[in-house]
Chains A and B, each alone.
Chain A
Amino acid sequence: MGVIGEVLGNLLRKPFTRLYPFEKEDVPQRFRGNIKYFSDKCIGCRLCEKNCPANAITFHKKGCIDFDMGKCIYCGMCGDVCPTQAIVYTNDYERAETSKKKIKPIQS
């Protein structure tokens, strides 16, 4: 039987693919998408800057941190070490932009 049975079975199946961008997929809760930064929660401990493997974070002062999202590797270290959850990962995965300046974290 092999592949013939599989192919005939597919005639009656729903398509496996989706019509992105018209149909969007739900991403799981743990998905590491764009970063969201709450500047009011930040206590200025600089742990995120020290722990970033890609050196994508520059600390200026408490509540003012630059994220270079072009360098970010979405590992989730900054969110993990943050003691006040001032940095969280959102489910936003549509990160393609036409200019480098537009690649930014969500500020709150």
Chain B
Amino acid sequence: MSDYLVPFGPQHPAIKEPISLRLKLSGSTVEGVDAQLGYIHRGVEKIFERENINNALYLAERICGICSYAHASAYTRAMESMMHIRAPPRVQYLRTMFAELERLHSHLLWAGFMCHEIGFETLFQLFWREREQILDVFERYTGNRVHHSYNKLGTVRYDIEDEDYIREQVHSILPTVKSLRSEIKGNGVVAARFKKVGPVTHKQAIEYCLVGPPARACGVKNDIRKLDPYEAYGKTKFKQPIYKSGDSYARTMVRLDEIFESVKIIDQCLRDMPATKVPKHSLKALPQGEGYGRVEAPRGENFHYYIVKDSKITRAKIRPPTLAVFPALETMMLGAHVGDVPVIVASIDPCIGCMERITVTKGRRTETLTEQEFRRKYCG
């Protein structure tokens, strides 16, 4: 029997994107969660329709601001699988390297954000300062800090000239990240706020089909880079960090460990990259058919599916990582203290802008519909 119904969001200082959670509380314990979405629905899948496949790449990139390269990679993988083309080896290594650089910057951003949630502003600033080094690499080689526009179908836009700069910048963050990781590991306050907060069991993780770091924190090995190697991941050696406890602490440690693995992958890419030329023009054949691509974004598995007719997209389906992790949020929150709700929401690294789908709100009633149901009910 719940005592209170407390609204959490859509405008709330603890969350950076509009998401509304109605928390059923008994005392200060969460007994139920009612998530309401639809505040930043942009209809991206609809905008994809009738887009030329060369131009839609830039739209795919703009689905998310933080994992923009992951969306571009998934898009190029889908299109290249449809056209049965494979990028040359140097391009594959370059793409792998930039995907890992993005994982570095995303995890550093998230680690800072997680510390900000528990009020540890010093760590927040220190993590974000290190992130700037990675963004400098992006700006220098791709021309932009966030939306890189680096991929093209079958190739990449620019080659890299001086590899030492990347090596230097990436290794310069390691000593600080190591000391910050040991701080998170040893600090009693951090442990009190993270440990046993929002736990998910191994069985629940499989039932909910969790992806990415939240799943690896429960002991589920589901790294797409290992399961379905794409680009140059098959040729590189790295570990996937696995933790058993499944709580916010495990999710934090998985991501912090992944930072070190990413640096290893970047080093291997720079070492093994063949010194060939990057081809300039990409497409020759008239594309038609369907293709899908999945990549391991910093937040988990990112899936893109497209149907193309006469080089125009007729149907797009995108499953970003947050869409897969979101249903498990209620399980994580049940029995939690109300003060831990921001930490739990932050611990899944939510990207609400990525995952918004059609939601119809009429009066006080909200329903989520498929496209066909929506057309039958509201467009007929």
Contacts and interface: CB of A to CB of B under 8 A. Distances in A.
A2 interface: yes
B123 A76 contact: no
A53 B58 contact: yes
A80 B141 CA distance: 16
Nearest to B180: A3
Contact of B141 (A2, A7, A30, A74): A30
B179 A5 contact: yes
Contact of B182 (A2, A27, A53): A2
Given A2-B186, A75-B149, A28 B140 contact: yes
A76 B148 CA distance: 10
A74 B148 CA distance: 10
Contacts of A80: 157
B189 to A, nearest CB: 11
A43 interface: no
Interface string B325-347: 00000000000000000000000
B179 A6 contact: yes
A93 to B, nearest CB: 10
Interface string A37-77: 00000000000000111100000000000000000011111
Interface in A1-42: 1-3, 5-7, 16, 27-28, 30-32
Interface string B89-132: 00000000000000000000000000000000011001001001
A6 to B, nearest CB: 6
A31 B143 contact: yes
A6 B158 contact: no
B123 A3 contact: yes
A2 B58 contact: no
Interface in B176-233: 176, 179-180, 182-183, 186-187
B179 A76 contact: no
B59 interface: yes
Nearest to B126: A6
Nearest to B183: A2
Interface string B136-162: 000111111001010000000110000
A53 B122 contact: no
Given A3-B122, A3-B126, A76-B149, A30 B140 contact: yes
B144 A32 contact: yes
B71 interface: no
Interface string A64-100: 0000000001111100100000000100000000000
Contacts of A54: 58
Nearest to A16: B129
B221 to A, nearest CB: 30
Contact of B176 (A6, A28, A73, A89): A6
Nearest to A1: B179
B183 A76 contact: no
A6 B143 CA distance: 31
B54 interface: yes
A2 B187 contact: yes
A30 B158 contact: yes
Given A51-B54, A51-B55, A2 B179 contact: yes
20 contacts: A2-B186, A6-B176, A16-B129, A16-B132, A28-B143, A30-B140, A30-B142, A31-B139, A31-B144, A32-B143, A51-B54, A53-B51, A53-B56, A53-B57, A53-B58, A73-B62, A76-B143, A76-B149, A76-B157, A77-B55
Nearest 6 pairs of A and B residues by beta carbon? A2-B183, A30-B143, A53-B55, A53-B58, A3-B183, A28-B140
Given A28-B139, A53-B57, A76-B149, 14 more contacts: A1-B179, A2-B179, A2-B182, A16-B129, A30-B141, A30-B143, A31-B139, A31-B143, A32-B143, A32-B144, A53-B58, A73-B62, A74-B144, A77-B55
